[in-house]
């Protein structure tokens, strides 16, 4: 169940008008809110992990997610990650 956006009255599924205040429920606003929530969920870490786990080819799914994350980074962020990886690699080589 959801609530009326105007008065907060508990809404029963299928009602078109709020019995407390008489305001019509907006189905379009609800659909937009649901779609935004679904899109936000898919962009979250949880959504990304769920896509990888549910994929038939996990290796390809991980590759695709990594490419998508890297594509969203700025040049400065990419360079910073590169420097970090090089530094860690140099430390590992020097220890061995």
Neighbours of 59 (CB within 10 A): 9
The whole-model pTM stands at: 0.47
**Nearest by Cα to 17 from 29, 31, 6, 32:** 6
**pLDDT reported for residue 1:** 55
Structure tokens at 58: 């996990």
Q: Residue 5 burial by CB count (10 A; 0-12/13-18/19+): exposed, middle or buried?
A: middle
**pLDDT reported for residue 29:** 67
| CB distance 67 to 52 below 8 Å | no
Q: Does residue 67 surpass a pLDDT of 70? A: yes
Residue ranges of domains in the chain: 1-43, 46-96
| CB distance 55 to 61 below 8 Å | yes
């Amino acid at each position: 169940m959801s609530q009326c956006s105007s008065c907060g009255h508990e809404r029963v599924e299928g009602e078109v008008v709020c019995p407390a205040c008489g305001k019509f429920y907006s189905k379009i606003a609800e659909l937009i809110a649901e779609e935004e929530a679904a899109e936000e969920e898919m962009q979250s870490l949880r959504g990304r992990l769920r896509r990888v786990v549910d994929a038939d080819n996990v290796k390809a799914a991980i590759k695709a997610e990594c490419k998508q994350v890297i594509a969203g980074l700025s040049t400065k962020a990419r360079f910073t990650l590169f420097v970090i990886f090089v530094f860690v690699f140099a430390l590992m080589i020097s220890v061995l």
